[in-house]
Amino acid sequence: MSVNAPLSRASANAELSFLHRFEPGRDPAAAPLLLLHGTGGDENDLIQLGRMIAPDAPLLSPRGKVMEGGMPRFFRRLREGVFDEADVRLRAAELADFVREAREAYGLAAPVAVGFSNGANIAAALLLTRPGVLAGAVLLRAMVPLAEPPKADLAGTPVLLLSGGMDPIVPEENAARLAGQLRNAGARLDHRTLSVGHGLSQADLTLARDWLATVPTSAA
C-alpha cells in the first residue's frame, strides 16, 4: 500500500539518524505510532494510513536506509523471502537507537509500530531483538525475520498480526511461525488471517483502528 500525503506545516523534523517525518498528535494520551513502510516506500508513505487508524496520535515515520534497485527498504535480502539475517539484526539495532533519539527530540512515549510488509518485518525483528523499545505493534503482512531469534521477554506486549490468506509473498506457515515466536516470547498476540492477498484492505484498517484504541500510552 502506498499512501502519500503532502507535508504538514505542523511537521517538525529534527536532525536524527534516519531521514524521517514527524507529525505531532492532538491527543497527549494517544500512543505514538512508528510508521514503517514497505519496499519502495518512504517517510511519507504511511502518513495517511496513520491518520486513518489513529487520528489524534503523534506519527513518526522513518525512511529505510537500505536501497534495492533504487527502492528503500529497512534491511537487505538475498532474494524474495530470504533475508540477510546479520543485516536484519544490525538494522533493528539502528532503528531502536533512532526511536530513542526521536523520543528525546519530540518528547514521545514508547511508540506502537505500524509496519507493512518489509516494515512489518523490521518491526517484528525490533520486538524480538530489542524488547522494551516498542509499546506494541501492528504487523501487516509480516513474515519471520529471524529463523532463530534471541530469547526475548515481551511479557504482556500487545501485538496485532494481520495476515493474508491469499498472500503470494507470505505463506500461511511462515506467518504462523512468526506468531509462535511472538507468543513464546510472551507477547499478548492477536493473529488474524483475512481473505485477502498481500495488499491492504478496509478490513485491515478497521481492525487496526479498533485494536489501537485499546492500547494504553506507555512512558517506558
The C-alpha atoms of residue 140 and residue 162 are separated, in whole angstroms, by 5
pLDDT in tens, 102-136: 999 999 999 999 999 999 999 999 999 999 999 99
- Look at the domain 20-212 and name its fold: Rossmann fold (3.40.50)
Instruction: Provide the pLDDT for residue 7.
Output: 36
Phi–psi pair at 47, nearest 5 degrees: -60, -50
Would you kindly state where each structural domain of the chain is located, as residue ranges? 20-212
- Residues designated as active site: 117, 167, 198
Residue 12 pLDDT class (50, 70, 90 cuts): low
> Going by C-beta distance under 8 Å and a sequence separation of 6 or more, which residues neighbour residue 169?
80, 81, 117, 141, 143, 198
User: H-helix or E-strand containing 5?
Assistant: none
pLDDT in tens, 28-58: 788 999 999 999 999 999 999 999 999 999 9
